[in-house]
Structures are given as C-alpha cells and as structure tokens.
C-alpha cells in the first residue's frame, strides 16, 4: 500500500534528521565522532524470493555508521589534555568497567590519578615497564634525594703559579762562571743573598730556618741542606757557565690551612648531598709544590672545616695530567646526621696546567636534594614525565593506546565513550608510536570531526525527503478518496 511505503519514508527521513541533529549538537564535543544514517530498500519476500514484479515496500534504516576520521587538535594550557593523532583510543576505567574514548580532556584528582570529567581513570603502563595496564598516578609527595657518588672536575691550574712553603728563584749563570772562584760569582752571589743565604768565600750557609734545595735546569737536585748547614759550591758536579739553576728555601710543601691564603694557590667549592638530601659544601684547595717538583700540585678537600681527603696532581711537560703518576683525591666524610658516609672519588682526568690563569670549566656532581612536583608533561609516545623542584625528571608511566580491527563495530555508551563488542573484536593494547598506533600530543585535545556545513546540507536533504514522502501519502489519499466517491 502506498500509505505504508510513504510511512516508511517518513520514518527514514525522521531518523536521518535525528542522526544529523545529534551530529550538529555535538559539533563542539571533544573527541566526538559523527555518524551517518544508512538506508536500505524493503521488498516483500516469498518462499521463493523476491518476485520480478514486486514494486518494493519502502525504505528502512540499515545502520547508523560511526565516522572515525581525525578531528582537528585544540591546544590548551593544561598539560594533561591529550590528543591522539592517528589510530587508537584512550582507555579509561572505573569500578572495573573499561571503556574507550578519543576525548582527551583529563585532570588529576586529589589522590593523583589522571581522570576525565566522569571520574574514570586513564590507563597506562607502569614506569618500570611491562605489559600490565593499570591506573596512571602522579607522584604527590616529595621525590627522594640522591647522595653524591662522584665529582667531575675540569680545571686549569696556572703554570706560572708561585710554589708555597718557602722562597724560590731562578738564575742563568753568566759566561765564565767558576764555582771555585768568588770573583766570577757576581749576580749569583747577589741572587743567593737575596734569598736570605749567607755567602762566604766558596761556601753557602743556610740561615733561613728551612731546608734548601738547589736544582739544575733539568729538574735534578744539585744540593740539599738543612738549616744551619754549610755547603761548598765546588761539591760534585759543580756549576757550569750559562747553566740555569733554581733554588728553593723551605720544605717541599707546608700544611694547608683554608684560613691562610699564603698556604695555597687556588680554591673552588661545590655543593654535595648526603643520603638524606642534606647539602654540604665541599671546598677544594690547590697547593703547588716547590722545584724540582713544581709540576706537582697537592689538592686537599674540606667540608665544614674538616679535612676529608687529599691527593696529588702531576702534570706532563705539555700541561696535561699524568694520571699514572698522580694520587687520586678520595673524599671520605661522615655527615653526623644519621646519613651514610660520603665516599666520593674526584675525577681530575681533564684538568690541565696551562698559561697564567686559573679557571674552572666544569665542576659537576650527581647528587640532589628532595624535590616537590611542579610540572607534568606527556611525550609523543605517551610517557608521562614529572618535573620536580630539585631538577629531577622522572617517568610516572606511559599512556596505553587501544586499537580495534573494526572500530565501527564499537558500541557507543555516552560520554563520548565506547565499549567493545563482538563486531569490533578484542582491543589490541600498545604504546603510541608503535606500528598501527597514532602519536599523542600533550597539552591539546581532539575536537569533534563534525563538519557543520555538511550537516546543514544534510538537514535540507532530510527535510526535502520528509516533504516528498508526505506528498506520497497525500497523493495516495486523493486516489483512495476518488474510489470511495464512485457511485
């Protein structure tokens, strides 16, 4: 009957209007995927199938097909807003019920869990890895401290630095110098007397109160004698014309006193941390040795005024460190606050002795204090990073992404969520960026994929279809009325 056929057309046009209206009303809903009304014609079937003479019985709604094409990204100021750029769904769960969504507007609740507006918790992988999927939780307490385990020092010590511990000088002997002839001494005698030595005849008397060392240009010791001793210049080996000699009065080194700048050449400091995260200032003091060991520096560490380790740095003629000849500095310190002892090796491998300027290029340590959470960001692979006030960045987990063989088979359950069905197949869980999964954009969410212009055209089409089917019913009524009026 034409009445029934027209009625099916009216119903179909109504469904088309409902689907289009639903799309339009959700044009601004984050993660919403528009639908399309799909129709099929109706034929009356007999036992043997459709007759060749059958005219059809109208139309029916065959499916409301969801369209999972990508929506535009909307960037926000919330780092927990997430957008999937490509294939996949976020997984959310509450009370053991797992659902899937493209809506990535998330926040953190009072317990630190990442949730959506419905209170469902975002699912992900734990920071230590593995295949188990569970709630992602942000750290709300302090990040634990890390004790310093080593120090890396890159410095330059002045090659022209004066040694500590006595008087030092160098002189090139004049042409014709004869150690046995005082008449040829000239500048050499003045040189010795200027350092506080008593020169009488061919003898030198040590009246300085310290030990004296006379060295040749090649660094070999020519004479060493204690306070009050006298040494003849004509001792074995003698001295030759035009020979450069150096002389030092005093011990090889003196005790280093951090409060007395006369006892060291250079110093630098850095902060180290114990196992409780408490800060301690470690100061390094450098003391150059007198000739002939003037390529050797003593280094001593102090914490809270206490000497906590010493060593020596020996340099080659080209200014680089001779690691084999050097004695490493090892810091050993008991904080006294219940923390573990600090046992720190100081690495001076790249330290040099160049030029006439002391410099510190790098002075690093690997410890840090406790820290408070100040920021959270999400990488493109879904890794959730937390940044703390102590400069530590830590992974709190990785967002899990679900993929389906047939996403159009998913059942919408409201709230821009879907659940799996037999038609969709079971979810394949993975990580963003893996094969078959899209990437995650932090600080953004996916807008609805509804095209308003297209939907407005659909409204016009559905309206015309409704009017046309109404006209079928009106025409059928006119024909029927003609038959009724026959007499």
The reported pLDDT for the residue numbered 444 is: 96
The reported pLDDT for the residue numbered 80 is: 95
Total number of residues shown for the chain:
487
d(CA 102, CA 30): 8
Task: For the domain made up of 150-158+258-365, give the CATH fold.
Answer: Tick-borne Encephalitis virus Glycoprotein; domain 1 (2.60.98)
Over 90: is that where the pLDDT of 245 sits? no
**Can you tell me the mean pLDDT for 265-276?**
96
d(CA 206, CA 204): 7
Q: How confident is the model over 108-146, as pLDDT tens digits? A: 998 889 999 999 999 999 988 888 999 999 876 778 899
Over 90: is that where the pLDDT of 17 sits? yes
Instruction: Give the pLDDT band (50/70/90) at residue 170.
Output: low
**Can you tell me the mean pLDDT for 363-391?**
90
Instruction: Give the pLDDT band (50/70/90) at residue 223.
Output: confident
d(CA 169, CA 269): 31
SS3 category, 124: strand
The reported pLDDT for the residue numbered 236 is: 45
d(CA 416, CA 445): 13
Q: What are phi and psi of 184, to 5 degrees?
A: -100, 0
For the chain, give the percent of residues with pLDDT over 70: 88
**Can you tell me the mean pLDDT for 311-337?**
94
d(CA 188, CA 182): 10
For the chain, give the percent of residues with pLDDT over 90: 56
Cβ–Cβ under 8 Å, residues 229 and 206:
yes
d(CA 1, CA 56): 10
DSSP string, 316-355: -TTSBB-TTTSB-EEEEE--SSSPPPEEEEEE-TT-B--T
Short-list 480, 462, 466, 485, CA closest to 3: 480
The reported pLDDT for the residue numbered 253 is: 57
Over 80: is that where the pLDDT of 172 sits? no
d(CA 157, CA 354): 7
**Can you tell me the mean pLDDT for 97-114?**
94
**Can you tell me the mean pLDDT for 236-262?**
71
Instruction: Give the pLDDT band (50/70/90) at residue 247.
Output: low
Short-list 304, 270, 273, CA closest to 371: 273
Q: Where are the domains of the chain?
A: 2-65+463-484, 73-143+373-446, 150-158+258-365, 167-249
d(CA 381, CA 377): 12
Q: Write down the residue that tokens 């006595």 correspond to.
A: 166
Short-list 222, 200, 202, CA closest to 213: 222
Q: Which residues pair with 399 in a beta bridge?
A: 124
Q: How many CB atoms lie within 10 A of CB 480?
A: 13
Instruction: Give the pLDDT band (50/70/90) at residue 252.
Output: low
Cis peptide bond upstream of 292, omega within 30: yes
Cβ–Cβ under 8 Å, residues 245 and 173:
yes
The reported pLDDT for the residue numbered 45 is: 66
Cα-Cα-Cα-Cα dihedral of 391, 392, 396, 400, to 10°? 80
Q: Write down the residue that tokens 């000739």 correspond to.
A: 291
The reported pLDDT for the residue numbered 250 is: 57
Over 90: is that where the pLDDT of 326 sits? yes
pTM: 0.64
d(CA 242, CA 184): 12
The reported pLDDT for the residue numbered 176 is: 74
Cβ–Cβ under 8 Å, residues 173 and 233:
no
Q: How confident is the model over 338-361, as pLDDT tens digits? A: 899 999 999 999 999 998 899 999
**Can you tell me the mean pLDDT for 23-47?**
87
Q: Any idea which of 245-249, 359-363, 407-411 has the lowest mean pLDDT?
A: 245-249
Q: Which residue has the higher pLDDT, 45 or 483?
A: 483
Strand order in the sheet with 329-333: 329-333, 342-347, 150-156, 359-365
d(CA 478, CA 72): 51
Tokens of 223: 């004479």
Q: Any idea which of 228-242, 297-311, 389-403 has the lowest mean pLDDT?
A: 228-242
DSSP 8-state class, residue 69? P
């Amino acid at each position: 009957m034409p009445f029934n056929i027209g009625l099916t057309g009216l119903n179909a046009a109504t469904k088309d209007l409902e689907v289009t209206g639903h799309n339009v009303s959700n044009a601004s809903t984050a993660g919403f995927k528009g639908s399309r009304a799909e129709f099929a014609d109706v034929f009356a079937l007999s036992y043997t199938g459709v007759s060749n003479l059958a005219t059809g019985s109208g139309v029916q709604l065959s499916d409301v097909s969801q369209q999972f094409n990508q929506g535009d990204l909307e960037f926000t100021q919330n780092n927990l807003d997430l957008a999937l750029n490509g294939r996949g769904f976020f997984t959310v769960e509450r009370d053991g019920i797992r659902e899937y969504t493209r809506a990535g507007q998330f926040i953190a609740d009072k317990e630190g869990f990442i949730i959506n507006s419905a209170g469902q918790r975002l699912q992900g992988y734990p920071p230590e890895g593995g295949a188990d999927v569970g709630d992602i939780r942000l750290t709300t307490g302090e990040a634990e401290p890390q004790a310093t385990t080593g120090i890396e020092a890159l410095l330059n010590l002045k090659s022209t630095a004066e040694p500590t511990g006595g008087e030092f000088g160098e002189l090139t002997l004049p042409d014709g110098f004869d150690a046995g002839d005082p008449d040829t001494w000239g500048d050499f005698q003045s040189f010795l007397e200027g350092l506080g030595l008593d020169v009488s005849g061919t003898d030198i008397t040590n009246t300085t109160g310290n030990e004296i060392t006379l060295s040749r240009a090649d660094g070999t010791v020519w004479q060493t004698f204690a306070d009050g001793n006298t040494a003849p210049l004509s001792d074995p080996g003698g001295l030759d014309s035009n020979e450069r000699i150096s002389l030092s009065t005093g011990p090889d080194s003196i005790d280093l006193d951090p409060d007395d700048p006369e006892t060291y050449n250079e110093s630098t400091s850095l902060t180290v941390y114990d196992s409780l995260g408490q800060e301690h200032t470690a100061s390094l003091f450098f003391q150059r040795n007198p000739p002939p060991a003037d390529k050797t520096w003593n280094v001593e560490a102090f914490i809270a005024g206490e000497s906590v380790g010493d060593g020596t740095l020996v340099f080659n003629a080209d200014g680089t460190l001779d690691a084999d000849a050097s004695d490493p500095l090892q810091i050993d310190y008991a904080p006294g606050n219940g923390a573990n002892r600090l046992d720190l090796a100081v690495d001076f491998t790249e330290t040099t002795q160049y030029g006439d300027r002391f410099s510190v290029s790098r002075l690093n340590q690997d410890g840090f204090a406790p820290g408070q959470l100040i920021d959270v960001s999400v990488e493109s692979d879904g890794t959730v990073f937390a940044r703390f006030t102590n400069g530590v960045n830590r992974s709190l987990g990785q967002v899990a992404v679900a993929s389906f063989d047939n996403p159009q088979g998913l059942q919408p359950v409201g709230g821009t969520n879907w659940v799996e069905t037999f038609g969709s197949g079971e979810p394949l869980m993975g990580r963003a960026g893996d094969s078959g999964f899209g990437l995650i954009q932090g600080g953004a969410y996916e807008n609805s994929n509804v095209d308003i212009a297209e939907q407005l055209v659909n409204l016009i089409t559905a309206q015309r279809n409704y009017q046309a089917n109404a006209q079928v019913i009106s025409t059928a009524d006119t024909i029927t009325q003609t038959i009724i009026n026959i007499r």
